[in-house]
Amino acid sequence: MAIKRVLHYGEQSLREPSKEVHKVSKKINDLIRDLFDTMYAQNGVGLAAPQIGVNLRVFVVDASTKEEPLEPMVFINPKIIKKSGAVKSSEGCLSFPEAYTDVVRYKDIMVKATNAHGKPFVMEAKDGSLLARCIQHENDHLDGILFIDHSLNRFETEEVLKKNNLPSIDPEKLLDETELKEQL
Ligand code: ZN
C-alpha cells in the first residue's frame, strides 16, 4: 500500500485515545498494510495506528529475532487480560527518533485481540521478551500513553528528549508504578 509519515512526539494524535474497530473492512485491511509498510521502512518492531494519524485500535508487531523467528502479527481491539512480574528495559519509539530511555513493564502478559481476518485470539508473551514488551508499548499507544510515561528516571528521560530536540515530559502524564518498580 503506502509508507506513511510517522507522527513525532508533540503531535496531537499520539495523545488521543483511539476508537474500537467494529468491522475488519477493506479500509482496516488497507490500514494494516500501511502499518506494516511504514514499520518495515523504518526498521521498527511495532507500529500503532495513531502513529500514522489514525485513531483506531489497531497495531502491528514483528518481534522476530535471529534466535526466535516469529510471524508478523496484527492486533485489533486488543485487551491485556493478565499481567504479572516486572522487567526493566531500554525502549525507543518510532515517534521519538533516536531517543531511548529505561522503562518498567510487566514481565508476562496475556492478550486478547482480533486478527486481520476478523477472528478473535488469545496469546501469551512471557519472560520480558521483546514481544511481551512490544505488545504493552503498542497497546499503550491506543490509549494515548507513551513509553516516556513509564520512565524509571524522569530526569534522565528529560535529558534524552532535550538532546533530540523533542518536547519535554508532561509531568501529569507520568504513571505511578511504584508497585511495579518495587518488583524489579
Ligand atoms: Zn511507540
pLDDT in the model for residue 184 = 87
Q: Is residue 4 part of a domain?
A: no
Look at residues 161, 160, 166, 153 and name the one whose alpha carbon lies nearest to residue 174.
Answer: 153
Q: Please give the residue range of the domain that contains residue 56.
A: 12-182
Q: Is residue 5 part of a domain?
A: no
What total of structural domains would you count in the chain? 1
Q: Is residue 177 part of a domain?
A: yes
pLDDT higher than 90, residue 70 = no
Which residue matches cell numbers 531517543?
99
CATH of the domain at 18: 3.90.45.10
Q: How far is the CA of 5 from the centre of ligand 1 (A)?
A: 14
Q: Is residue 7 part of a domain?
A: no
Q: Is residue 1 part of a domain?
A: no
Q: How far is the CA of 27 from the centre of ligand 1 (A)?
A: 22
Look at residues 33, 48, 37 and name the one whose alpha carbon lies nearest to residue 93.
Answer: 48
Least reliable range by pLDDT among 39-43, 64-68, 93-97: 64-68
Residue 150: CB atoms within 10 A of its CB come to 22
pLDDT higher than 90, residue 160 = yes
Q: Catalytic residue, from 67, 98, 124, 138: name it.
A: 138
Q: How far is the CA of 45 from the centre of ligand 1 (A)?
A: 9
Q: Is residue 26 part of a domain?
A: yes
Residue 41: CB atoms within 10 A of its CB come to 14
pLDDT in the model for residue 65 = 84
Q: How far is the CA of 108 from the centre of ligand 1 (A)?
A: 19
Catalytic site includes residue 67: no
Mean pLDDT of 10-35: 98
Q: How far is the CA of 117 from the centre of ligand 1 (A)?
A: 24
Confidence of residue 115 (pLDDT cuts 50, 70, 90): very high
Least reliable range by pLDDT among 66-70, 79-83, 87-91, 102-106: 66-70
* Cα angle 179-181-184, degrees, rounded to a multiple of 5: 120
